[in-house]
């Protein structure tokens, strides 16, 4: 599997501009902003229905990968995005609805479609090694930079150890490289 990295905060604005084009520009921008503001995996995001988030303080779900319960507080920015995006939608509609249906039932966009949306937007502005998981890493990395609390980020991501979280955020690799730069044998 190809390794992906978090992006910088200023790149979020560039991606927003790049992604919000075409017929589904608003939905695609909402998808990106939801992803980068929740640190949820794409497999969990695509299963969210409107009724799970509309007029709620928290998003509650069981993570598909870990089978762990997650209760995530939604800030006012996220709640406003949800309210704007879900106008006219029913509670049982998927938050990121596909225009295709299966046997007359609505369904969410696919993981591949979400990947294409993000890849197209990031390639336009020259960001490489970006995938849906980069959004999760970005949120976690920026929270860590703001708080300096690796234990908090570990809990936020539902990781089982701080070492796992440090590696996930590529902090161990960066710190090791910094130490090497200050060391020489002459």
Does some domain include residue 74? yes
To the query of whether residue 136 is one of the catalytic residues in this protein, the response is yes
The residue annotated as part of the active site, out of 54, 137, 141, 159, is: 159
Domain limits for position 30: 9-132
Number of domains in the chain: 1
Instruction: Quick: pLDDT tens for 135-149.
Output: 999 999 999 999 999
pLDDT at 1 over 70: no
Selected catalytic residue, list 94, 139, 144, 168: 168
pLDDT at res. 7: 87
Considering the candidates 133, 137, 139, 141, report the single residue annotated as catalytic: 133
Q: Is residue 39 part of a domain?
A: yes
Q: Residue 168: pLDDT band by 50, 70, 90 thresholds? A: confident
Using one digit for the tens of pLDDT, what is the confidence trace for 8-20? 889 999 999 898 8
What would the mean pLDDT of 94-109 be, rounded to a whole number?
A: 84
CATH code for the domain of 18: 1.10.443.10
Assigned domain for 182 exists: no
Does residue 133 carry a catalytic annotation?
Answer: yes
The active-site residue, picked from 41, 54, 85, 141, is 41
pLDDT for res 178: 74
- In a domain, residue 70? The reply is yes
Residue 173's region, left for phi above 0, alpha for psi from -120 to 50, else beta, is alpha
173 belongs to a structural domain = no
- CA 91, CA 95: separation in Å to the nearest integer? 9
Between 83 and 169, name the one with better pLDDT. Answer: 83
- Indicate whether 155 belongs to any domain: no
Mean pLDDT, range 66-92, rounded to an integer: 94
Contact 45, 34 (CB under 8 A): yes
Please indicate, yes or no, if residue 163 is contained in any of the structural domains.
Answer: no
Q: Could you say which of 65, 71, 102, 146 is catalytic? A: 65
Percent of the chain with pLDDT over 90: 68
Examine residue 153 and state whether it is found in any structural domain, yes or no. no
Q: Kindly report the backbone phi and psi dihedral angles of residue 3, in degrees, each rounded to the nearest multiple of 5, phi listed first.
A: -80, 135
CB distance 7 to 136 below 8 Å:
no
Q: Report residue 32's pLDDT band, with 50, 70 and 90 as the boundaries.
A: very high
Is-catalytic flag, 168? yes
Residue in 27, 54, 136, 137 annotated catalytic: 136
Q: Is 94 a catalytic residue?
A: no
Angle at the Cα of 77 from the Cα atoms of 91 and 88, rounded to 5 degrees: 30
pLDDT at 5 (0 to 100): 83
pLDDT of residue 11: 92
């Amino acid at each position: 599997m190809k390794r992906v990295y978090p992006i910088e905060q200023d790149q979020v604005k560039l991606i927003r501009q790049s992604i919000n084009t075409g017929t589904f520009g608003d939905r695609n921008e909402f998808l990106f902003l939801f992803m980068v503001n929740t640190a949820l995996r794409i497999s969990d995001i695509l299963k969210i229905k409107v009724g799970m988030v509309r007029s709620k303080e928290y998003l509650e779900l069981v993570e598909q990968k870990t089978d762990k319960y997650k209760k995530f507080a939604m800030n006012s920015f996220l709640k406003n995005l949800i309210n704007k995006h879900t106008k006219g939608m029913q509670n049982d509609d998927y938050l990121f609805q596909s225009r295709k249906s299966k046997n007359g039932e609505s369904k969410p966009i696919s993981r591949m479609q979400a990947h294409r949306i993000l890849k197209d937007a990031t390639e336009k502005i020259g960001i490489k090694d970006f995938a849906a998981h980069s959004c999760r890493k970005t949120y976690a990395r920026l929270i860590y930079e703001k708080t300096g609390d690796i234990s908090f980020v570990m809990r936020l991501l539902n990781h089982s150890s701080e070492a796992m979280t440090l590696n996930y955020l590529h902090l161990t690799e960066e710190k090791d490289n910094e130490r090497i730069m200050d060391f020489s044998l002459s």
